[in-house]
Structure 1
């Protein structure tokens, strides 16, 4: 009975969301995106805790480099981007491959081609920058589908929608529950794997490496897999370049350092990946997902001092 009631509640939640989502789906695209911006602005004012987390994160990353006014401007842009991104995801089912190509310019596509030709699989270093769902969508629409690891949404009906959207052009969804095993299997098959590694990791799952000058608990899975399977690692980040346009950047292959000390190699390479991500965020500071509590987990010595 409890399970049945839980599913009924989830269905009601889904239907309530659809009441808002369907008008946005059927709206002309430009009007829908503008509405998404308004929704994002509303979230900026309503989600005060997330706004506080974002301000704290910007202070950790940039200190006095940005004024308080500039930090608030970045946060408002963050929320507007989130609102627009939600609307863009709703419109994905209506988009053909040509539609995606018209919206997203891909730079560095040859880096993917060169990595794939090595025949050792490939790992995409991804992050919550710009509309990261559009990054994945454009990548698969361009003919480079991958196995991507995602956390299932709590609402099964919303999750089913997202799975359909994410797999439209060939992506395979790997659940975090069996993530490592499935990623290893994909690389053994010489297939690409996409991994978002810019969120806070639980103490039992991450290692502490530098990120914007502060220890950040980071999942070391990319370093572990690259070292084990000798798979090339390619950074892939998307940025919003206009009202309805994006650029997806695929960087050059990231060299993986090997010292012969397995533990040290994992730490060195994870720190290097974080630095590459940090450098990109510094170029586009208003496009990273600052409202996530990235530095939540800290070493015990630091936690006890706070």
Structure 2
């Protein structure tokens, strides 16, 4: 039954994915307008995050940013349905520019293992497809609470050759699986700006606010000697008939593999923040990044009322 429900979801996603680009963008804009009119969860979370990350903005400026973020977020949601349900080769033609691929090639040929840190910036699903096209890899992910949702994600994120993409649940056994793959010279993809469970990270500044940050990436890099690269697919063209993206791959700062987990987390967050500041509207501000607060500092969950 779970598999059938996932297939049914895929069918409806495919219907939306076959709409012309201009229709998809209008649908995204309509969803964004609905979120704001009803002050939906997404709208409230963005408002809180902007107040925390950009306290210097005037109220009118913050409202303008919020509208832009809502529009980009909704468009990306619709856009991703298209990417999930259309041939990957067709999707990859949306990449108008590619920067830093020589770093990726060098890391692959070194045989030391490669960790691709992919922040929630631009369209990370398009990045996943590019990575799967270039090399077999394991992707660390946090499973949805719904079994149907997880089955759907497994369905849409699988490459045409399922052997090229291994999805690893972010659970205790994940560390061993990722360690084994990296030690064998393989490739691992990690979303570095997801909040870990309490006890699985360190608090480090993110836009000037302490955020619980994963230590997993730094530990894997330090103990395996794997290369760490940051990668993202940034929107560079929002033309209604054919949007375009730029693939950008960057070397991680040396401190990303520091033996001190606090130092490694500081470097990780600083790098993600730098990328997010390129175009704040393309970052996933609808994510509750600051729910867990440092013990004993008296701060409450800022999203509690949302």
Band of TM-score, shorter chain: 0.7 to 0.9
Number of residue pairs the alignment of both structures matches: 292
TM-score of the two chains, using structure 1 as the length reference = 0.84
Distance 1:82 1:304 in 2: 28
Of the three residues 162, 179, 182, the one matched with 2:153 is 162
Distance 1:269 1:287 in 2: 25
1:112 lines up with 2:104 in the alignment: yes
1:223-302 map, 5 Å:
223-243=218-238, 244-256=243-255, 262=259, 265-302=260-297
- Equivalent residue, structure 1, for 2:304: none
* Runs of at least 5 residues in structure 1 that lack an aligned partner in the other structure: 1-6
- Residues 280 and 18 of structure 1: CA distance in aligned 2, closer, same or farther (over 3 Å): closer
- Residues 194 and 303 of structure 1: CA distance in aligned 2, closer, same or farther (over 3 Å): farther
- Residues 282 and 14 of structure 1: CA distance in aligned 2, closer, same or farther (over 3 Å): same
Q: Secondary structure in 2 aligned to 1:297?
A: coil
- Residues 30 and 128 of structure 1: CA distance in aligned 2, closer, same or farther (over 3 Å): same
- Equivalent residue, structure 2, for 1:189: 184
The answer (yes or no) to whether the contact 1:104–1:138 under 8 Å persists in 2 is no
* Runs of at least 5 residues in structure 2 that lack an aligned partner in the other structure: 302-306
Q: Secondary structure in 1 aligned to 2:94?
A: helix
1:52 CA drift (Å): 2.5
1:104 CA drift (Å): 5.1
Deviation sequence 1:124-155 (CA, Å, 0-9, x none): 111111222222123323x1442111122333
Higher helix share: 1
- Equivalent residue, structure 2, for 1:91: 82
- Equivalent residue, structure 2, for 1:4: none
Deviation sequence 1:64-100 (CA, Å, 0-9, x none): 1x22222223222222223222222322332341541
The CA RMSD measured in Å over matched residues stands at 2.7
- Residues 222 and 14 of structure 1: CA distance in aligned 2, closer, same or farther (over 3 Å): same
1:221 CA drift (Å): 0.7
The answer (yes or no) to whether the contact 2:202–2:261 under 8 Å persists in 1 is no
TM-score of the two chains, using structure 2 as the length reference = 0.84
Distance 2:90 2:15 in 1: 24
Larger mean Cα displacement after TM superposition, 47-56 or 173-182: 47-56
- Residues 96 and 229 of structure 1: CA distance in aligned 2, closer, same or farther (over 3 Å): closer
The answer (yes or no) to whether the contact 1:226–1:256 under 8 Å persists in 2 is no
Moved over 4 A (4+): 10-15, 17-20
- Equivalent residue, structure 2, for 1:54: 46
Larger mean Cα displacement after TM superposition, 171-180 or 87-96: 87-96
Distance 1:269 1:239 in 2: 25
1:68 lines up with 2:46 in the alignment: no
